[in-house]
Amino acid sequence: MLGLDLDEPLTVLDFMGGGGAIPLEGVRHGYKVFANDLNPVASLVLKATLEYPARFGTNLVPNIEAFAKEIDQRVRERLLPFFPIESGPTWWADEQENALAQFRTATIVKREPANRDSTKNCYMWARVVPCSKCNLNIPISTNFHLVTKKGKPEASIAAFPEVPSREEGNDCSFRIVKHAEWSACRWPRPDFTHWHPRETPTFKDGKAICPRCANVMDGDEVKTTARSYEGGLPAQLYAVCSKVPVKLTYRNGEEKIRYLWRFRAPTAADVAAVTAAEAELARLLPRWQALGLVPDEEIPEGDKTKEPRNMGLTRWRDLFLPRQLLTNGVILEEIRAAQSRVRTALPPEEAEAVIVYLAFILSKVVNYNSVNTFWHYGRKTVAQTFSRHDFAFRPAFCEFEGARETVMWGVSQVVDAYESIAAMIHGGEVHLDGGDDEGGDGDGESNDQESVETEDDEVEENGEGSADGESVHQSLSLRPEIIVPTVTNEDAAALSTPAPGTVHLICVDPPYYNNVQYSELSNFFYVWLKRALVDEPGLFHLFREPLAESNREAVANAARWARESAAEQNAWQQRYDAEFKRLRALKVKVTEAKALATEAAGARPATAKERADRFYEDKMAQVFRRARLLLHPAGRMVVMFNHKETYAWRALGMALIRAGFEIRSSVPIHTEAESSLNIRGLDAARSTVLLMCVPREDREQAAGNWASVQSRVAQLARGAAQRFQGQGLSGTDLYLSALGPAIGEVARNWPVTDFAGREVDLEVALNESYHSVGQWRLEQILDELTGKAEFSEAAAGFAASNADRDSQALWLWLDTFQGETAQSDDVRKLAKSLNVDPDDFKRMGLLHVNKELFILRPPAETDLKLLSRRLAGADLPRGRAAREADVWEERVFPGFHVAAVWNAIALMGGVEDIGARGPEAVRRWLNASGYGAQPEFFGAFAVTLHLLEHIFGTRPSGPWHEAVVQARRAWDLVLKTWQI
């Protein structure tokens, strides 16, 4: 079909290559690979991931390590004075007892401090906000935990802020406290009851909470205060952690070294070292700035960059403490100084590659040595800057030990990755160990950090943290069939290579609409890499601009259009106001004046979001048109996409349709780790959908073909959901699995029109797909219910699809989102498929809103009196009249059976002061309200109980656990034996 000779390789293109995972597979299979990315940082990563390993194998490793050791030695000499560490005799007095408990084997005859440095030295910092009421310098943090162990609360360690009285001053000090000591930790604030490192934070929901006077400074006040300081809020060192070396002597004379975690409060020596580092930075800054070594560029306004700007961090250098900036700057300077030695020692192509890998050491260090890191107390490690795809403000963060543990740690990370990739390409042994880039909880607030159990703290001699061990590397022969890939840095809509009609497979994982703002985030690395590689001629084209390319980037970034949209909206409003005022002066009625003024003002300008959506669709259409031109006549294009929002799928689908593609097949694959910070705790998509696309043969379509397309979309959606549920998909992913077939059906029949000849928007087809999957799931839920003997009688003759729409919506919420929390867009999408307004659920008190999240209230937290009266359409009396108006035994919920189920569960638990609770209260209500004679209520209760137990049944505690318990009791003690 492709007409290739037996020895002619396939040509593969990824025009948005990113980190290089897709083209890497092509390279190692011996294909002719073209990899491109518009982003310069990504393009450099592609060279390091694909080109250099394919060309050199692992031959670069000795040179990378040799030059890194030279850099490390010079960095140590310059930075050691600013990072003092404790000697063995100093820390042994504190840790001798811990060493005895940790290393308690009977054959050990002696324990003493080893004659070597501690490792994994890390400094904990907290931002400081002066209290607007009592002037205390509040060290703000959501959590002062240092150590937690799952199931072992007694092993927890925390840093306790010692709060001075007003007479003693305004600066807090810190004390490291074990769990047993927490009850004795006291604050002077008036409402103080007990202290807990997480439950009594000094920073929550953007608000600073004073531990002395209990004053709460709201988020706007904190931000205003932060912006009043150059470079943002000051920071206070509050804890130091390290692994200290313990020498163990055994009966047989054998000696071993193990490491023990040590947590301590900062000393005067620590503070003096910080002060000295600040002075050294001040001395170096004029020269560094003259040489262009300091990232002084302004952080531009954007979707993600607004986060640091709101907190007064306006330059890229502000994302680093002075000592962090000193560390990073010294490493940068020494890397640049080493480059001339590299160029002298190696041929140009090898020199370029080695220089790039040395620069990546700096990238690795800055990623773990910024104010956007945090301490993961479950893993006992520093979590990187980009644990999430944002610049979220960290009230508390970490600093690496800069002198001893940066360069050689960085080179080990770089070389391990490089060797593994080279081994994959050239047939060597590959160890697929998990990396350390996935930190723990991204905001440092969640209890989920406690779910990560760390291993024993013991570390072998020359093991983890030791720089004394020699690296062992495998020697590889270059595979002759490997073709060195072509890496480019171009706009995917205007690729200069490969030649048109020559690509057999395009496989691309494009930007997922607005999920990640690549240029905004990559500038964090760009500003350092361009300084590290400024003298490398072969890479000059990547770093010509002050910041990474953003104008041609294929993402939906509303922030990019905000000013333009605001200006046009303002101009439109002025035209409208002027015309409305003129018409009212002429005594034109208000309603008519509004209509005429709207007409006179002209079409309302598009919002920033609408402009971003249009830009993304237009850009992707341009890119796909170019892809179609490059594709071989028998070639195929595979597009990967992962997004939950209908508008994102609509934009991508319309781009494919406008570019002349149709989708032949669609397959979801599980790609997102459950521990990923970008999905944890949400109804997030865990699957990426692969769309296999071919050029569409345009043919004339009959007007009004939507009716037949709609029917096929519904059929295809149900079929896809059934097929992929059998393969393990559930929840949101099940709905996503049906979107590809829906887009494919529309594309095959494009243009799709109604009987009036109007074009049907792709979003209508996507909503039809969503609705079809929802109806199918309702049928499945009832089938599951019928299969359970205890529910079979209640389910007999009951059709979930015939239940009221509000009940269907709540059942599908539980089934789809698998919990109480959902994104607002997903809720609206689900509700729309049932012609239900989610805002009605808010008005009824069933939901509460937290930013873009909708959260379902459990029965015990729902105002059932309010819900009943609103469903009845009654006025809402207040005070005594409200109490008299509600007779709980007669409470009904017209048109909403699940609301009645909520009421039964609440009565079983006795959450209201009604003088009755438990089975008797439920029986009285069933009789007086009439629900005891309604089979539909019993069917609805059975469906709801089935879903509650499936979703919340494993929760050990909390309101939803209680809801499951009370629902089960109501069924077993009352409903199961009730005679209608």
Cis peptide before 859 (omega within 30 of 0): no
**659 within 8 A of 628, measured Cβ to Cβ:** yes
List of residues 6+ apart from 213 with CB closer than 8 A: 131, 133, 134, 136, 189, 190
pLDDT in tens, 142-180: 999 999 988 888 999 999 999 999 999 999 999 999 999
Read off the pLDDT band of 439 (50, 70, 90). very low
Backbone φ/ψ region at 958: left (φ over 0), alpha (ψ -120 to 50), beta: left
Q: Considering only CA atoms, which of 671, 601, 323, 353 is closest in space to residue 484?
A: 353
Q: How confident is the model over 515-538, as pLDDT tens digits?
A: 899 999 999 999 999 999 999 999
Burial 74-110 (b: 16+ CB within 10 A, else e): bbbebbeebbebbebeebbeebeeebeebeeeeebee
Give the amino acid at 321.
L
Confidence at residue 22, expressed as pLDDT on a 0 to 100 scale:
96
The reported pTM is: 0.88
Dihedral, CA atoms, 952, 956, 959, 964, nearest 10 degrees? 50
- The answer to whether the CB of 891 falls within 8 A of the CB of 864 is yes
- Whole-angstrom distance, CA of residue 686 vs CA of residue 707: 33
pLDDT digits (tens, 9 = 90+) for 706-761: 999 999 999 999 999 999 999 888 888 888 889 999 999 999 999 999 998 999 99
Residue 273 pLDDT more than 80?
yes
Percent of the chain at pLDDT exceeding 90: 76
How much is the pLDDT for 793? Answer: 76
Angle of helix 322-345 versus helix 61-79 axis, rounded to 10? 140
Which of 119-128, 275-284, 927-936 has the least mean pLDDT?
Answer: 927-936
For residue 464, the model assigns a pLDDT of: 39
Residue 886: predicted pLDDT: 56
Separation of alpha carbons 163 and 186, rounded Å: 9
Look at residue 959 and tell me whether its pLDDT is greater than 50. yes
Say if CB 157 and CB 169 are below 8 A apart: no
What whole-number distance in Å separates Cα of residue 362 and Cα of residue 317?
A: 15
Collect all residues with Cβ–Cβ distance below 8 Å to 572 and sequence separation of at least 6.
Answer: 601, 602, 604, 605
- Kindly tell me if the per-residue pLDDT of 963 is higher than 90: yes
> How is 104-164 classified by DSSP, letter by letter?
--TTEEEEEE-SS--EEEEEEEEEEEE-TTT--EEE--S--EEE--TT-GGG-EEEEEEPP
pLDDT reported for residue 200: 96
- Answer yes or no: is pLDDT of 657 > 90: yes
Q: Alpha-carbon distance 165 to 619, whole Å? A: 61
Share of the chain above pLDDT 70, in %: 92
Containing 561, the helix (H) or strand (E) segment is none
Mean pLDDT of 913-924: 80
Residues 6+ apart with CB under 8 A from 858: 820, 959, 960, 962, 963
Q: Which two tokens stand for residue 558?
A: 């509303």
* Contact of 817 with 732, CB cutoff 8 Å: yes
Least confident of 28-37, 124-133, 969-978: 969-978
Phi, psi of 330 (to 5 degrees): -65, -45
Distance, in Å, from the CA atom of 583 to the CA atom of 579, rounded to the nearest integer, reads 6
Query: What is the pLDDT at residue 25?
Result: 97
Continuous H helices in 346-406: 348-368
* pLDDT tens digits along 359-379: 999 999 999 999 999 999 999
Using CB atoms within 10 Å of the CB of residue 633, give its burial: 0 to 12 exposed, 13 to 18 middle, 19+ buried: exposed
pLDDT digits (tens, 9 = 90+) for 1-13: 566 777 789 999 9
pLDDT of the residue at 912: 56
Instruction: Give the mean pLDDT of the chain.
Output: 90
**Residue 804 contacts residue 895 (beta carbons within 8 Å):** yes
Average pLDDT over residues 250-272: 96
Residue 797: per-residue pLDDT: 73
Total length of the chain:
980
CA distance to 83, 278, 674, per residue, from 273 (Å): 6, 9, 41
Is the pLDDT score of 792 beyond 80?
no
CA dist., res. 658 & res. 696, Å (int): 10
Measure Cα distances from 722 to 9, 729, 772, 776, 951 in Å: 38, 10, 11, 8, 20
Residue holding tokens 């521990």? 675
Looking at residues 464-468, what average pLDDT do you find? 40
DSSP state of 971: I
In the chain, where the domains are located:
559-605, 610-777, 787-975
- Whether 271 and 278 have beta carbons less than 8 Å apart is answered as no
Identify the H or E element spanning 434: none
Query: Which segment of 9-23, 449-463, 641-655 scores lowest on mean pLDDT?
Result: 449-463
pLDDT attached to residue 394 = 97
Burial per residue of 722-732, b for 16 or more beta-carbon CB atoms within 10 angstroms, e otherwise? eebbeeebebb
pLDDT tens sequence across 532-569: 999 999 999 999 999 999 999 999 999 999 999 999 99
Strand partners, 958: none
* Cross-strand pairs, 145: 158
CB count within 10 Å of CB 375 equals: 31
**pLDDT, tens only, 288-335:** 999 999 999 999 999 999 999 999 999 999 999 999 999 999 999 999
Tokens for 420, please give them: 């593994």
**Arithmetic mean of pLDDT, 917-926:** 91
Please give the pLDDT value at position 462: 43
pLDDT at 433 over 70: no
Rg (CA), the chain: 32
- CA–CA dist 980, 969 (Å, integer): 19
Round to whole Å and give the CA distance between 356 and 343: 12
pLDDT for the residue 881: 46
Given this model, what pLDDT does residue 453 score?
Answer: 39
Q: What is the pLDDT of residue 1?
A: 59
pLDDT at position 2 is 67
pLDDT at 848 over 60: yes
Looking at residue 461, what is its pLDDT?
44
Q: What is the structure's pLDDT at 965?
A: 95
Kindly report, residue by residue over 857-870, the tens digit of the pLDDT.
Answer: 999 999 988 899 88
Mean pLDDT of 785-811: 81
- The band of 980, judged by pLDDT with boundaries at 50, 70 and 90, is confident
Q: What is the pLDDT of residue 942?
A: 93
What does the CA dihedral 366, 367, 372, 374 come to, rounded to 10 degrees? -110
pLDDT digits (tens, 9 = 90+) for 685-711: 568 899 999 999 888 888 889 999 999
Instruction: For residue 442, give the nearest of 515, 388, 375, 521 by alpha carbon.
Output: 388
Whether 454 shows a pLDDT value over 70: the answer reads no
Q: Quick check: 64 and 415 in contact, CB under 8 A?
A: yes
What values do phi and psi take at 526, rounded to 5? -55, -45
Q: Tell me if residue 694 falls in helix, strand or coil.
A: strand
